[in-house]
Structure 1
Amino acid sequence: MPPVLPMLAKSVAAVPTTGGYSFEPKWDGFRCLVFRDGDEVELASRNTKPLTRYFPEVVAAILDQLPPRCVLDGELFVSVGDRLEFEVLQERIHPAASRITMLSESTPASFVAFDLLALGDESYVDRPFSERRAALEAALADLPPSGPCHLTRTTTDPDEAEQWFRQFEGAGLDGVVAKPLSAVYAPNQRTMLKIKHARTADVVVAGYRLHKNSTESSPLLGSLLLGLYDGSGEDAQLQHVGVSASFTAKRRAELIEELAPLVVPIEEHPWGRWSEFLTANPDRVPGTQSRWSQGKDLSFVPLRPDRVLEVGYDHMEGRRFRHTAQFKRWRPDRDPTSCGYDQLEEPVSYDLGEVLG
């Protein structure tokens, strides 16, 4: 019975070649535990919050396609064409029932199962993954290939897992997960391994937000706002691509002093033309609001875009970094206007249907 915390993963640099692992794609969606008992279905998030009301079409699919009594671990995702689209999935968390209904029809979600916690009267949490996977395959053997419920593919071949790691990103996946074949299901324990893409990019520092613990007498930097130029020459526009935010308290204070000479009025900043907006806009400009940020202080300190920073990132979501970028080093040798999207690695295009097949 819910609540149950899912098993977690710790990051490693590469696909392990020894140790007895089962490998599977790392899905870029909402982690979801499915609880079904007859006509009752509950969808629970990674932190045990209910997701059921936001995905009525998934509930209907579970009632139609999954065993009558089961607890499964998996992922909710939305695909557009041949790619997973996390931003579209995020739109599903909405307070209005009418909006949820409309989105469930226009951008329906799917569920991919990758672990088994219970089936019928049997608990599987104390069984090794090799047994859980075999029972899961048997229980979901009759799933229609068209979905919307799927069983993730797996392999025990590290070479094949490495190939998946390189290829599947083109379908919007996040990397590869490795599960010890002999390990039991350990809620809230980092028993699994995750291998994610790691890349670097040179970006323009365009501003910063203050830290929540910042005071007037002791200002602390909360996050750096990052930009890349879209286009070339006089037509190039500085686009907001994400933030870098992990610093010690000492470094947060140092950065305030270090960046002080670059502070400019918003009217002199490339993003000044958006300062009048009070709602979100297509370029996700800092200082604007969305339903995800209402009530938060999104004001920022604009900086003259003269400094270049090298950051680490895993992958892009549209035209932005999917996650917070990691501060690597300053790049005084780089011209800010040379920092464009053309430096970013393009993942190989891959058909999502092949991943699900």
Structure 2
Amino acid sequence: MNSFVERTIRPMLIGETAEPFDSDDYLFELKLDGLRCLMYLENDRAEIYNKRNVNITEVFPEFHDLYKYVKTPCLLDGELIVYEQGAIDFFALQQRAHQKNPFRAKLASNSHPAHFTAFDILYAKDNWIMDQPLTKRKKILNQTVRSEYERFSVSRTIERYGTALYQMTVEKNLEGIVAKQKSSTYIPDSRTKKWVKVKNLMDDDYVICGYIPKHDSIISLVLSQYEQGELQYCGHVTMGVRNLHFLEDQQISILKECPLAKLPPHHENAVWLEPKAVAVVKFMMKTESGSLRQPIFKGFRTDKNPRDCIRR
């Protein structure tokens, strides 16, 4: 089977978190606050697949002619992002990713166009190159790209000075950096410790199992993660009522009973939901009990199976 033709590849994920560091063995690049995806580019078309291998090409029609900007059919790994007033806007990207109506997707591509940043290449010139070291793949990536433009760029890297790059992200209020071993090969659908993220704020993915109505159009989402096959309570994060339409659009049913393995105290007024939706939450740190300090609701994601939200 030709995986390029069959579209069966899933991206390799980051498997380690660390404090800022310097090293001659790593390449350092910016961590982008967007949607991870694979871009299949051929002679007359471009197709986009998210981390769950779902085809989202029609959601982002502005990339239909991206194939013109590479010299040969290839498979690029990268990040979709949306800029708003010069800054990355994850909420705007989230709104676009949930748009299923082709006409509205086209309108959104004009009002809030996305940008694709490529940071790896897996296939080029009819050959898989995932067994090549990262430095070689980066060189091939730059050789393959014919030109960049306002919707497409190649991620820049620096050597050795990861701490300085991280400090710059702190000053610019960016997400953080990623450090990748120069010798690392690419293993699809895996999580590697040879790629390390260094973040200003931590974040994690949580299953939404309910909510508690508050005041002034605010609700408190009940967060959970799986541990040994059961949903465990992980705390709350506040969210505006206007975002509840996402849960309604996903046809998530209200439950009569709590889906958690153990009912947490003070949840008498909770509205319990089918554990189908996943939320991204930023926070300063986790407490010993697993709850979150200073949690911030970042958005929903549709590219992750709730069962993959594992408590670590």
Q: TM-score, normalized by length of structure 2? A: 0.69
| Contact 1:177-1:194 at 8 Å conserved across structures | yes
Give 1:291 shift: 6.2
| Contact 1:35-1:71 at 8 Å conserved across structures | yes
Partner of 1:158: 162
Partner of 1:328: 287
Give 1:289 shift: 3.4
| Contact 1:164-1:176 at 8 Å conserved across structures | no
Matches within 5 A, 1:232-271: 237=216, 239-240=218-219, 242-246=221-225
Write out per-residue CA displacement over residues 169-188 of structure 1, whole angstroms, 9 at most, x where no aligned residue.
x3xx4321111101111112
C-alpha separation in 1, matches of 2:144 and 2:167: 28
C-alpha separation in 2, matches of 1:252 and 1:70: 40
Partner of 1:65: 69
Write out per-residue CA displacement over residues 55-109 of structure 1, whole angstroms, 9 at most, x where no aligned residue.
111122x133233411111111111111111221122232211111111111111
Distance 1:284 1:24, change over 3 A: farther
C-alpha separation in 1, matches of 2:248 and 2:43: 35
Partner of 2:300: none
Distance 1:122 1:199, change over 3 A: closer
Write out per-residue CA displacement over residues 301-322 of structure 1, whole angstroms, 9 at most, x where no aligned residue.
9x989xxxxxxxxxxxxxxx94
Give 1:244 shift: 3.4
C-alpha separation in 2, matches of 1:327 and 1:225: 21
Write out per-residue CA displacement over residues 182-221 of structure 1, whole angstroms, 9 at most, x where no aligned residue.
1111112222111223369xxxxxxxxxx9xxxxxxxxxx
Q: TM-score, normalized by length of structure 1? A: 0.61
Give 1:246 shift: 3.7
Q: Does 2:52 align with 1:50? A: no
Tell me the secondary structure at the aligned position of residue 64 of structure 2.
helix
The letter for the 1-side match of 2:179 is A
Matches within 5 A, 1:1-357: 1=4, 2-18=7-23, 20-60=25-65, 62-92=66-96, 93-140=98-145, 142-144=147-149, 147-156=150-159, 157-168=161-172, 170=173, 173-191=174-192, 192-198=195-201, 237=216, 239-240=218-219, 242-246=221-225, 283-284=240-241, 288-290=244-246, 293-297=249-253, 322-323=280-281, 328=287
C-alpha separation in 2, matches of 1:197 and 1:19: 22
State the superposition RMSD in angstroms: 3.9
C-alpha separation in 2, matches of 1:252 and 1:121: 45
Write out per-residue CA displacement over residues 259-285 of structure 1, whole angstroms, 9 at most, x where no aligned residue.
xxxxxxxxxxxx9xxxxxxxxxx9236
Give 1:122 shift: 3.4
Give 1:237 shift: 4.9
Distance 1:227 1:193, change over 3 A: farther
Tell me the secondary structure at the aligned position of residue 186 of structure 1.
coil
C-alpha separation in 2, matches of 1:166 and 1:105: 31
| Contact 1:8-1:188 at 8 Å conserved across structures | yes
Give 1:132 shift: 0.9
The letter for the 2-side match of 1:73 is D
Distance 1:193 1:199, change over 3 A: closer
Give 1:225 shift: 5.1
C-alpha separation in 1, matches of 2:295 and 2:50: 32
| Contact 1:25-1:164 at 8 Å conserved across structures | no
Give 1:11 shift: 3.1
The letter for the 2-side match of 1:22 is L
Runs of 4+ in 1 over 6 A off after TM superposition: none
Structure 1: which 5+ residue stretches go unaligned? 201-210, 212-221, 229-235, 256-270, 272-281, 306-320, 331-338, 346-357
| Contact 1:9-1:193 at 8 Å conserved across structures | yes
Count of equivalent residues: 259
C-alpha separation in 1, matches of 2:158 and 2:254: 45
Partner of 1:354: none
Distance 1:186 1:15, change over 3 A: farther
C-alpha separation in 1, matches of 2:202 and 2:89: 20
Partner of 1:260: none
**Percent of paired sites with the same residue:** 25
Give 1:9 shift: 0.4
Tell me the secondary structure at the aligned position of residue 104 of structure 1.
helix
The letter for the 1-side match of 2:147 is D
Structure 2: which 5+ residue stretches go unaligned? 259-264, 268-278, 297-312
Larger Rg: 1
C-alpha separation in 1, matches of 2:217 and 2:10: 42
